[in-house]
Structure 1
Amino acid sequence: MAQNNEPSSQVSFARLWRQVLFVPMLHSKWLTAEAKARLTMKVAEAERGHRGEVFLIIENHLPIQSAYYIDCRERAVDLFSEYRVWDTEENTGVLVYVNICEHKLEIVADRGISAHVSPTVWHAMCEKAVTGIGNQKMEESLSDLLNEVGQLLRQYYHLEHDPAGNELSDTVVFLK
């Protein structure tokens, strides 16, 4: 639920079993094609007016083969690398990772924006979104979180005339 830089993973049979027993169709009904399109638009909106990049990944559950060894934080860091969110010109990429099975949300921010935003700010943003998600307001909570991330990026990397350039796709990635 929080953004920090310390490894947090410990081996866990409980985590592994949660992933094995998770039934996606019971938990991700809210993520319709229309909801994904609206969230993709929210990512695009969050990227306006600054030099940062926002990337949203929603995953049903951790990969079974690694669920015993890694937690959501480590998975988010792995995806930050795999999707090259770190590979922006000014190191201003921000990954928002949601794991439906674990009821976790992680923010991984590149070093450029992390130099300006403290871990407690990222943590508070995650907590607020997780609370909304817990109240069955998944799409609304993610939309609000994306807006907040965009505001932070505008605060530190503002562009008066935002060019149409985009270093990363705005499309929401859904990993089943």
Structure 2
Amino acid sequence: MAENHASTSSFARWWRQVLFVPLLHSKWLTAEAKARLTDEVTRAERGHRGEVFLIVENHLPIQDAYHMDCRERAIDLFSEYRVWDTEENTGVLIYVNICEHQLEIVADRGISTHVSPTVWHAMCEKAVSGISNKKTEESLAELLDEVGQVLRQYYQLEHNPAGNELSDTVVFLK
């Protein structure tokens, strides 16, 4: 995760996307694992007014991979899935790119006024380390819990409201 960041075109990045074979890398994301992570998103949203959204993607879209890196992709998905469109601007997108072995957190302006980019960066680094050690689901579950704790710190509720502004279902983009 980088805060002030300008993407550079990369032929190597494009080739990694072209040569990526999903069957060799995303076996861990079974229907059961996806259901467990969806439950983790639901748990991460308890006790606060924020919204947590998890997207796992095999690789960057081939047509964009030369000019777009994972941070830019995460920002595009933040917009596409309307994570920015929560009432108090407290949406947090967690984006995992399997091919690039990267994880990005994009936080809306409401929560960004409270949480330093270094906090998000440290969370990403910890999760990426766990993913590198073949503990992908566990690392993402821990990350979701940590994001929930941060949101509770600033947007705590005595009890959750009836509504849920964004779906808790993990989005998997092949």
Same fold (TM over 0.5): yes
Q: How do 1:120-159 and structure 2 match up within 5 A? A: 120-159=118-157
Shift of 1:68: 0.1
Equivalent pair of 1:7/1:74 in contact (CA under 8 Å): no
Give the aligned partner of residue 74 of structure 2: 76
Residues 51-90 of structure 1 aligned to structure 2 (within 5 Å): 51-90=49-88
**CA distance in 1: counterparts of 2:53 and 2:77, whole angstroms:** 10
Pairwise CA distance, 1:140: 0.1
CA distance in 2, matches of 1:81, 1:161: 28
Q: 1:30 aligns with which of 28, 31, 34?
A: 28
Matched, 1:47 2:45: yes
Distance 1:84 1:93 in 2: 9
Separation (CA, whole Å) in 2 of partners of 1:77 and 1:11: 17
CA change 1:40–1:3 in 2 (3 A) is: farther
Q: Show CA shifts across 1:107-134 (max 9, x none).
A: 0000000000000000000000000000
Local SS of the residue matching 1:98: strand
How many aligned positions are there?
174
Q: What SS is found at the alignment partner of 1:96?
A: strand
Structure 1 residues 124-170: Cα deviation after superposition (integer angstroms, max 9, x where no partner): 00000000000000000000000000000000000001123100000
Matched letter for residue 119 of structure 2: V
2:8 aligned partner: 10
- Alignment partner for residue 160 of structure 2, among 150, 159, 162? 162
- Percent identity of equivalent pairs: 82
TM-score with structure 2 length normalisation? 0.99
Give SS of 2:134's match. coil
Aligned 8 A contact 1:3 1:108 in 2? no
How big is each residue's C-alpha offset from its partner over 1:25-50, in whole Å with a ceiling of 9 and x where there is no partner? 00000000000000000000000000
CA shift digits 1:31-78 (9 cap, x unpaired): 000000000000000000000000000000000000000000000000
Structure 1 portions without partners, runs of 5+: none
